[in-house]
Amino acid sequence: MDGVGATLPLVQPHPTPEFRPLGRKAYGSIPHLPGSRTGPADRHLSPALARVCTERARDSRDHVVVLEKLDGSCVAAARVGDSVLALGREGRLASRSPNDSRRMWAAWVAENVERFLAVLQPGERLVGEWLALAHGTRYALTHEPFVAFDLMRDGERLPWHAVIERVGAGGFVTPGRIHEGGPLGIEAVMERLQAGGFHGAVEPVEGAVWRVERREDTGTRVDFLAKYVRPDKVDGCLLPENTGQAAVWNWRPETPRP
């Protein structure tokens, strides 16, 4: 990630709601570990790779980082030239979304554009969880509503230590680190999240994400990711379209900033 990458499509002056400035999704799906709650479109990691996450490394070059999985909206801020675009997970402009929370994300990116420019090189995007609107978990946030968990160019992501170093330039929050080193089992991970995790979850924490990296002669690369979602988790159980009641907000612009 040296700042030299593929040329990105130009942003249309009056884009339609379906327009994707990057020509792709901003973030893909992460496969599930065994026992994780899945939906119709989800897939499981192979048993062999699942064991690398939770039981036995392939060799001494495997390095596992386990992070708290947050329950909000996956969003991204992408740098195109000297501009920063607020995107939803599917890659569309958040400012054009019919969703109030997504438009709120776009406004927040505009307010914090200098912070994003301090982190991102042209062609890169910072991906994270936007926690303003409660989806299935309420949070008593003690920090801003954006939590950054990946820094990417096209389909490649930076190793975790590089992510931490880079986002520090913008002062962004990152997910709580549960474990780093060798494999760690699901039960041990979830036990460490029982007290509400690192971000003030009011309901039980949704789960965790395993990042498996490989230390090679040329440096460290991210090999694959996997996630575990607790089986009793109900997606979107707090959203107004599912409850018929008012939206539940973890954060609003008028809320005093931490």
Q: What is the pLDDT of residues 76-86, one digit of tens each?
A: 999 999 999 99
- Under the banding of pLDDT at 50, 70 and 90, the label for residue 5 is very low
- Across residues 46-58, what is the average pLDDT? 98
- Across residues 110-132, what is the average pLDDT? 98
* CB 151, CB 127: distance < 8 Å: yes
CA distance 74 to 128: 6
- Across residues 198-205, what is the average pLDDT? 97
More confident residue, 218 or 64: 64
Instruction: Identify the residue whose tokens are 């939906």.
Output: 39
DSSP percent split of the chain into helix, strand, coil, nearest 5: 20, 30, 55
What is the pLDDT, as a whole number, of residue 251? Answer: 97
CA distance 126 to 116: 8
CA distance 91 to 88: 5
Mean pLDDT of the chain: 92
What is the pLDDT, as a whole number, of residue 254? Answer: 73
Distances (CA, A) of 114 to 23, 79, 96, 179, 201: 24, 11, 22, 32, 29
- Under the banding of pLDDT at 50, 70 and 90, the label for residue 39 is confident
Tokens of 43: 């897939």
Number of H helices, E strands in the chain: 6, 9
CA distance 26 to 209: 18
- Across residues 29-56, what is the average pLDDT? 95
Rg of the chain over Cα atoms, rounded to whole angstroms, equals: 18
Least confident of 39-43, 71-75, 127-131, 184-188: 39-43
* CB 22, CB 81: distance < 8 Å: no
Position 184 pLDDT exceeds 60: yes
CA distance 216 to 225: 18
What is the pLDDT, as a whole number, of residue 40? Answer: 85
CA distance 106 to 219: 35
- Across residues 213-238, what is the average pLDDT? 96
Proportion of the chain above pLDDT 70, given as a percent = 93
- Across residues 96-108, what is the average pLDDT? 96
